[in-house]
Structure 1
Amino acid sequence: MSQPLRRATLIACSATAVLGLAACGPDNANPSATAAAPTASAGAASSTTPAPGPAASTAGLPNGNKLNAMLLPATAMPPKFKLDPNGSQSTGDDVIPPASPSAVPTDKACDMLNGTGWVNSAGIIAASFAKNNYADEAQNMFAQELDAYRGNDAQTVMANLKKTLTACHTYTVTQDGQNYYATVTLQSLPGVGDEALQAVITSPEWTGGSTLVAARVGKVVVATYDNNQSNTGIAGVALTKTLVKNAASAH
């Protein structure tokens, strides 16, 4: 029996919901996949509550327009990749009001790993952001997002993402009425920004896989999602390193 071809994921729920630019619902992460209960070891994420939010000051933080200028252009993308206009969003000159951190239940956090807005599984709202994604006709996708956070929120985001990816080491994805067991392989990326991590999501029942990268540059978190139907999307790591350099040079 041939392996099922995974569907490209859609734009997942993002901080845009705060500005009324996008609806935030359980189906945004992947229209055909919802995560079932993870293994027992995943309980750590559901019991992890983010630290109280810091002061609301946005002094020195780049706004959405500046973050958008740091995103990689179409010329940096693989051949045949085209910009998805529906996936291009930013806060522009606006600032998202501060909000109390909200821990994401483990099952929902694992499910969010199947979408481009996976950084939101950290449960922290950014002050400003910019994002877009590119895809080809084979449904391969590279999504990039830059989020600027108040106070020490960026460090908290990285810590929470690591906890989530560790808790979701194995989890179940239900697609078209069938269950698929996915595995998350997590590792650090030394020398990329102030701190960085990489997670590869695969399943013996899938074709291809996804590579997620998060890197912190000061108070900015770079998050990318590379979904590939023939390999694990590892090419996205190199693109992310370039994106991190863009963010660092703008400081």
Structure 2
Amino acid sequence: MSQRLRRAVLVACSATAVLGLAACGPDNANPSATAAAPAASAGTASSAGTAPATAPAPGPAAGTAALPNGNKLNAMLLPASALPQKLKLDPSGTKSTGNGFNPPLSPSAVPAPKACDMLNGTGWISAAGINAASFAQNDYTDESQDMFAQELDAYRGNDAQTVMANLQKALTACHTFTVAQNGQNYTATVALQSLPGVGDEALQAVITSPDWTGGSTLVAARVGSVVVTTYDNDQSNTGTAGVALTKTLVKNAASVH
């Protein structure tokens, strides 16, 4: 019998821009993190005299009057006391937009192969291709590479509904996809289902492979204009314990949204 691989954790940066922070790059600790999520950019101003005058772009706060900023979203995240004691906060995975907001950007469709890669990491909401107005996230890990990552993203207008629809499309399209890890390719399978009664709408996806031990459970739930996403990677099972944690996180978001 061939040796079964331990499921490696892929820590991907959020696709949303982090105000005041440098853009995230590829995860150097894991060779399988082949496509880091692009950081949103406010664009580059044209030099005087090289382009016709245009109306100024909307400021970062445009359309955010009713949205929570990164600090408020951060306060909704589950505290360490709510997670299994073996998991410890990873400071490198703690990010938010703080008191500010990201500027509005046009949606950017994510090619299917890249979307599948994004599903195998903590910033998997990047597969939706929609820039959030604000966000907060953190990761909890242990020495065995088990992980629970949580993220809250607030969106302008109807973008939150579009994010949920795009995530479902990506998860459906990536029912079977290839993961490159340690110089080899492995076939992963996504089992997708809805989660009735969780927020305004919710879905759950379990990613497994016959060559991995354990697996990962991804949950996305919308609460009004806020989308809750979690990534639970477990070496001994498929991370379904993360579903209960996500339901508590959704209640936190609903209580203040």
TM-score band by shorter chain is 0.7 to 0.9
Counterpart position of 1:12: 13
In the TM superposition, residue 24 of structure 1 has moved relative to its aligned partner by: 4.3
Q: AA paired with 1:31?
A: N
Counterpart position of 2:161: 155
Q: Secondary structure at the match of 1:88?
A: strand
Unaligned 5+ residue runs, structure 1?
37-54
Residues 83/182 of structure 1: CA separation in 2 closer, same or farther (3 Å cut): same
Counterpart position of 1:243: 249
In 1: Cα distance, 2:209 partner to 2:65 partner = 44
Residues 129/170 of structure 1: CA separation in 2 closer, same or farther (3 Å cut): same
* Moved >4 Å (runs of 4+): none
Q: AA paired with 1:166?
A: T
Unaligned 5+ residue runs, structure 2?
36-60
Matched-pair contact (CA < 8 Å) for 2:188–2:207: yes
Counterpart of 2:191 (choices 185, 193, 209) is 185
Q: Deviations over 1:56-112 (max 9, x none)?
A: 411110011110000000001112110001111111101100000000111110000
In the TM superposition, residue 175 of structure 1 has moved relative to its aligned partner by: 1.1
Q: Secondary structure at the match of 1:191?
A: coil
Q: Secondary structure at the match of 1:85?
A: strand
In 2: Cα distance, 1:57 partner to 1:69 partner = 22
In the TM superposition, residue 33 of structure 1 has moved relative to its aligned partner by: 1.9
In 2: Cα distance, 1:242 partner to 1:115 partner = 21
Counterpart position of 2:151: 145
Number of residue pairs matched?
Answer: 231
Higher relative helix content:
1
In 2: Cα distance, 1:30 partner to 1:189 partner = 33
Q: AA paired with 2:23?
A: A
Counterpart position of 1:31: 30
Structure possessing the higher radius of gyration over alpha carbons: 2
Matched-pair contact (CA < 8 Å) for 2:88–2:142: yes
In the TM superposition, residue 29 of structure 1 has moved relative to its aligned partner by: 9.9
RMSD between superposed Cα atoms in Å: 1.8
Counterpart position of 1:106: 112
In 2: Cα distance, 1:23 partner to 1:64 partner = 17
Counterpart of 2:68 (choices 59, 62, 66) is 62
Q: Secondary structure at the match of 1:16?
A: coil
Counterpart position of 2:174: 168
Counterpart position of 2:45: none
Matched-pair contact (CA < 8 Å) for 1:63–1:129: yes
Counterpart of 2:86 (choices 77, 80, 87) is 80
Q: AA paired with 2:109?
A: A
TM-score of the aligned structures, taking structure 2 as reference length: 0.86
In 2: Cα distance, 1:189 partner to 1:13 partner = 24
